[in-house]
Structure 1
Amino acid sequence: MSAPRRSDWLLPAIAALVALSIAYGLTLDPIEASLRNSLRAPGPDFPFGTDHLGRDVLARIAHGFLRDVGLSLTIIVCSLVIGIAIGMLAAELAGATDRALTFVMDLMTSLPQIVIALILAAHFGGGELALILALSLTGWVKYARIARATAFSLREREFVTAARLAGGSRLYLLRRHILPHLLPLLSGLVALQFGHNILNIAALGFLGIGVQPPAPEWGAMIAEARPYFSRAPWLAIVPGIYLFVMTMVALMLTRRSGVRQERASVDPQPAQPTR
């Protein structure tokens, strides 16, 4: 069996094990502290051990998963809406507006997203809302570029021209002919950004300007484990493993959506009229 075929079942199997552990961890309390159980090693009572306050690491991992995934999906929705709106606006108005918006996109791309997000999150004062705003205001650029390029390539196609000559409004053309071809092209980017968002959320949490304690979050858990790493390495290793698995799952979804993206971009078909 070749390596690519092994990865086709190996990664889903790992993801299933992770899902089972998270499902069990969600039944536990991630906040309850007990100094009597401080820094207990993994065992039957605490499968992933406890932290310096005696909190169950498995419970914090599971509830941190829900928090990180929820934040990542929220950021994706905000970035997607902003990016599509700006990309369509640039393609529709063209001219000076397109050049100005393209300049903004180039400016945002010239710096790493995490650097801009770090500055914005610190400016907003930290917390979940600041995290969403910071990563959404830096994550829309890729969506806008794809939306702009797709709108430019489709607006001169025969079916779009025919719909325009038949009296179709701009909103109708967008809803019936542009968006149906644009959204499949963004599926791979959504999966990729999901993994990036998980890492960025953890990075900002590690720096102390993301999700604030005592709320469980993987990056913050790694930061809290630094003083105890020599005595309790599992405090940092376990959330690091979960971050790795989540990123690999996102990359797997990105790879599987690549074929559909290529087919949609090579041979777009006009949307069927509504009867």
Structure 2
Amino acid sequence: MHHQVSADQDQIVDKRTLRRVFWRSFHLQGSFNYERMQALGYLYAMIPILLKLYPKKSDLAAALKRHLEFFNTTPAVSSFVMGISTAMEEKNAREKGVFDSSSINAIKVALMGPLAGIGDSFFWGTFRVIAAGIGISLASQGNILGAILFLVLYNIPHFFLRYKGTFWGYNQGTTLLSSLYEKGNMEKVSYCAGILGLIVIGAMTGTLVQFTTPLEISIQGATVNLQETLDQIMPNILPLGLTLLLFLMLKKGVKVNYIMIGIIAVGILGKWAGIL
């Protein structure tokens, strides 16, 4: 397959390096964890780009640290974001001190939610179901082609989008960045992306953090369900409070391992006491 990488006299990244990003993108969930989810896999995919762009150790260290921030999206569409990150890192390397490097993560966070919604709908909700339906119908008859067809039918669109997405993201990112800088809109986009990213993270707090209490309090013969009362004040106020507490502890320098042990201990004791 041939791909056109946008021609630019200052271009540093070549097609070979972008292909390395594509292959490495399959390791996206190789070090999945509940603190930063796909961050380590994302960084692993970006390493060939960062090594090429930042020969100076201090610049390379800053770039490596930058891509260790929280990231989570549908794996099949992740290479598109990596392509955009590549274009932005290239711009940052060329215009050090002028380009706002914080916008790189802002754009990543802003894209991961919408792309996850699209990716999940197509890959988990459509392609996988269709491929599984065809595969199961053959496998139920004892035909080994059922398993083979399932893998083939699912992975054809998966591999195609993942491969093309790397180049689309890079080319679109390069074109978009040039357009934004020409019109002086880059600061506005970075600001809006930052707001969208905070909204995405805030929404994840309410949907991914499960923290409730079955505690009931008797007041003058009346029984008050504490969880229902808290929900009337503000839905998901306990998950929000827990998230803010953990964030404060991290800001204070408390180690993640200690926080995790503390959460487990509080959960066990709370369940034993009947308050969680």
TM-score normalised by the chain length of structure 2: 0.26
TM score, norm. by length of structure 1: 0.26
Higher relative contact order (CA 8 A, sep 6+): 1
